[in-house]
Amino acid sequence: MDSLMRGFNDFMLAYFFVINLIYTLLLVISVRESRQLDRSMAFGGYDVILRSPLTLPVSVLMPAYNEESTIVQAVLSLRLQKYGEFEIVVIDDGSTDSTLDLLVAAFALEKVARPLRLTLPCGRLRGVYVSRRVANLTVVSKENGGKADALNAGVNAARFPLVCAIDADALLERDALLRVVKPFMDRPRETVASSGIVRVVNGCTVTDGTVKAVHAPHNHLAALQVVEYLRAFLTSRTGWSRLRSLFVISGAFGVFKKDAVLQVGGYRTDTVGEDMDLVLRLHRLYRDRRERYRIVFLPDPLVWTEAPEDLRTLRRQRNRWHRGLLECLWASRGMIGRPKYGPVGLLGLPYNLVFEALGPLIEVCGYAIFVVSLALGVVDHRFVVLFFLLAVGYGVLLSVAAVMLDQARSRRNGTPRDVARLLLFTVVENFGYRQLQALWRVQATLDFLRKKGGWGEMRRKGFEGAQPREHARTQSAGG
């Protein structure tokens, strides 16, 4: 028993050091990468892209399910995007409230007989509406089938070679589309997807649909999430992107080459992590074909989203995210550790499996074992206290680095009070919030296992094989 405990403690220590080593490396890579990008952004030639006739037109897809409170505002603010040619496709996913009626009234929509080319399978369509007043606005009404299904319908309705998936409640920067499309203009052949940083809008001053001043939210839970988002996006995803193994493109805002989306058969409807799943299948497709491709992540705040301010909503959100991750890992298990799949298979996926998927389990076990060891007197009290301080200290360091990196780069800094508040929460999050997250994730893991009824039963729908290649290939060239 005694040696078992000791062995476990050693394992915990080793795990702790490895994960923090990885975090440190990612932090260093991220800082370097964002400095470089900041410098070249000044010479980006965004004005050229804005007025160039060669700039690719974009179809913005906005799935909406019971969004009557925000939908009209969302469409209006989207129309203010600083971009050349783009169309807005709102997909009403069988809303039971007045989402569709409000849209019809606000934009003088009329039902038209436009046939949609059903390249991707999607739920039954109820009707296609176009606006008489607003150019390039289409509303597709369909029976409820979930976000992924709605996005598939949107891809079917999209007329342009790039599609941009956004959430109806997301707030875009004015030049978000311009910046996120730039990688496609730089390397038109290789770029298949690009995305940017998602930030928490709570507490910020928003005027006319743009974020004017960045403040720390008053709500404690939201402030904790601000720190968390900064850490996740600034110091982690930027690093992963540099290592070419990024496969998390937020569902809130991402641009894809339509051709590529069609070739992998669109979004999968049987997972809660449809955004991540799509990116993973893009990686797989291009690696299988041995073609050059790139998926870009820009460390600039491009889209703002409202963070849940109560524990229940947050818990549900996190449960969904973690289940999404597990489902994606399970669906891509064939890629893990295989050199053929490049950095994603060798770095990204294994990291996510060991530290993101199994991490919470190990963390929760760790807490339990420490308590038990303490009770049995196997370990010294002083060791436990010091180790805990070390863990907290490392967490604080990473969060502080993220907050400071943001401070150094942002041009819309809040007051020193806001910064102080965020710094306070970099410490607070280690007492309670972190543990709660781990517990929720363990719960999500159990939910995942229950739903799948054991590890063996998960069915892969595999649109790839069923999809007639010809359709997918021929679609974009003619448009």
Partner 1 sequence: MEFDALTIAVLVLYSISIALIVATVVRGGLRGRRDRKHARLIRRLRDPVQACVVEGKPMPIVPAGEQDALLELVLRYTSVVRGSDADRLTDALEKQGVTARLLRRVRSRPAWQRAQAAEMLGKLRLRAAVPSLVSALDDPSEDVRTVAARSLAAIRDPAAVPALARALADPSRWTLSLIAENLMAMGPSAVPPLLELLASDEHNVRVAAVQILGEIRDPAATPALIAVLDESGLNLRAQAAAALGKLGGPDAERALLAALEDPQWQVRAQAAKALGRVAHSATAANLAEAMPDDNWWVRVNCAESLARLGAEGRRQLELLTRHDDRFVRDQANAVLDVYGVRGAG
**Per-residue binder mask for partner 1 (CB under 8 A), 376-395, x = binder:** ----x-xx--xx-xx--xx-
Please report how close the Cβ of residue 463 comes to partner 1 at its closest, in angstroms.
20
Q: Tell me the two tokens of residue 296.
A: 């870009």
The number of residues that bind partner 1 (CB under 8 A) is 46
Q: Does 187 bind partner 1 (CB under 8 A)?
A: yes
Q: Does 292 bind partner 1 (CB under 8 A)?
A: no
Instruction: Choose, by CB under 8 A, the member of 377, 453, 468, 478 that binds partner 1.
Output: 478
Q: Does 113 bind partner 1 (CB under 8 A)?
A: yes
Q: Among residues 315 and 471, whose Cβ is nearest to partner 1? A: 471
Q: Does 401 bind partner 1 (CB under 8 A)?
A: yes
Contact 203, 167 (CB under 8 A): no
Q: What are phi and psi of 361, to 5 degrees?
A: -60, -45
Q: Among residues 43 and 455, whose Cβ is nearest to partner 1? A: 43
Region of 106-114, 238-246, 351-359, 451-459 interacting with partner 1 (CB under 8 A): 106-114
Q: Among residues 121 and 209, whose Cβ is nearest to partner 1? A: 121
Q: What are phi and psi of 47, to 5 degrees?
A: -65, -35
Closest CA to 414 of 173, 217, 245, 127: 217
**Per-residue binder mask for partner 1 (CB under 8 A), 340-379, x = binder:** ----------------------------------------
Q: Does 1 bind partner 1 (CB under 8 A)?
A: no
Q: Does 468 bind partner 1 (CB under 8 A)?
A: no
**Per-residue binder mask for partner 1 (CB under 8 A), 42-81, x = binder:** xx-x--xx--xxxx--------------------------
Q: Does 453 bind partner 1 (CB under 8 A)?
A: no
Q: Does 400 bind partner 1 (CB under 8 A)?
A: yes
Site for partner 1 in 417-436 (CB under 8 A): 423
3-state secondary structure the chain: CHHHHHHHHHHHHHHHHHHHHHHHHHHHHHHHHHHHHHHHHCCCCHHHHHHCCCCCCEEEEEEECCCCCCHHHHHHHHCCCCCCCEEEEEEEECCCCCHHHHHHHHHCEEEECCCCCCCCCCCCEEEEEEECCCCCEEEEEECCCHHHHHHHHHHHHCCCCEEEEECCCCEECCCHHHHHHHHHHHCCCCEEEEEEEEEECCCCEEECCEEEECCCCCCHHHHHHHHHHHHHHHHHHHHHHHCCCCCCCCCCEEEEEHHHHHHCCCCCCCCCCHHHHHHHHHHHHHHHHCCCCEEEEEEEEEEEECCCCCHHHHHHHHHHHHHHHHHHHHHCHHHCCCHHHHHHHHHHHHHHHHHHHCHHHHHHHHHHHHHHHHHHCCCCHHHHHHHHHHHHHHHHHHHHHHHHHHHHHCCCCCCHHHHHHHHHHHHHCCCCHHHHHHHHHHHHHHHHHHHHCCCCCCCCCCHHHHCCHHHHHHCCCCC
Region of 71-79, 267-275, 364-372, 403-411 interacting with partner 1 (CB under 8 A): 403-411
Q: Among residues 103 and 279, whose Cβ is nearest to partner 1? A: 103
Please report how close the Cβ of residue 193 comes to partner 1 at its closest, in angstroms.
18
Q: Does 408 bind partner 1 (CB under 8 A)?
A: yes
Q: Among residues 361 and 423, whose Cβ is nearest to partner 1? A: 423
Please report how close the Cβ of residue 383 comes to partner 1 at its closest, in angstroms.
6
Q: What count of residues does the chain have?
A: 479
Contact 163, 177 (CB under 8 A): no
**Per-residue binder mask for partner 1 (CB under 8 A), 117-156, x = binder:** x------------x-x------------------------
Please report how close the Cβ of residue 198 comes to partner 1 at its closest, in angstroms.
23
Region of 211-219, 320-328, 366-374, 471-479 interacting with partner 1 (CB under 8 A): 471-479
Site for partner 1 in 191-210 (CB under 8 A): none
Q: Where does this chain bind partner 1 (CB under 8 A)?
A: 39-40, 42-43, 45, 48-49, 52-55, 110, 112-115, 117, 130, 132, 185-189, 380, 382-383, 386-387, 389-390, 393-394, 396-397, 400-401, 404, 407-408, 423, 474-475, 477-479
